[in-house]
Amino acid sequence: MKKILVLCTGNSCRSQMMHGYLQSMFADRAKIYSAGVETHGVNPFAIGVMAEDGVFIHDHSSNHVDEYADVDFDLAITVCDHAREICPIFPNAKETRHHAFSDPSHGEGSAKELIAAFRATRDEIKAYASGVVKDMVK
């Protein structure tokens, strides 16, 4: 079974959404982990917009990358530039990838505008996750 780590700054939005999509897309073919270089808790807006798309992350926890220091990963994905800068090398990962997604938690405006920002990032992450799955099952 493949092991995939998704890493972000706070393990609250982008990494949690990617974790949810990869977990649902890989089903029983991979174990998905997500972590942050800090822990901020899972963002309620992320939970909500993922549920809109039928992916439920309400039971996820915000974990620190150090928790997985002894896990050998087939793939480590950084989903923000800050995490990539802090952890540029994953000695226990066979492959690394990076794609910076905008951080919807830093948005401003009404609740409607914030939800729209979370949806836009969610949709970008879903498309990227689909590509990861296609690459990994070749």
pLDDT at 27: 82
pLDDT at 88: 61
> What proportion of the chain, given as a percentage, has pLDDT over 70?
96
Position 137 pLDDT exceeds 70: no
Find the radius of gyration of the CA atoms of the chain: 14
Confidence band, pLDDT 50/70/90 cuts, at residue 20: very high
Total count of domains within the chain: 1
Confidence band, pLDDT 50/70/90 cuts, at residue 81: confident
Confidence band, pLDDT 50/70/90 cuts, at residue 138: low
Summarize pLDDT for 83-128 with one digit per residue, the tens. Answer: 777 766 677 899 999 999 999 988 888 999 999 999 999 999 999 9
**Phi, psi torsion values for 94, nearest 5 degrees:** -70, -35
Please give the C-alpha separations between residue 69 and each of 50, 65, 87, 90, 137, in angstroms, as whole numbers: 28, 7, 12, 9, 25
CATH of the domain at 123: 3.40.50.2300
> What proportion of the chain, given as a percentage, has pLDDT over 90?
76
Residues annotated catalytic, as ranges: 8, 80, 87
- 3-class SS of residue 4: strand
Question: Structural domain of residue 118, as residue ranges?
Answer: 2-136
Question: Rounded mean pLDDT of the chain?
Answer: 92
pTM over 0.75: yes
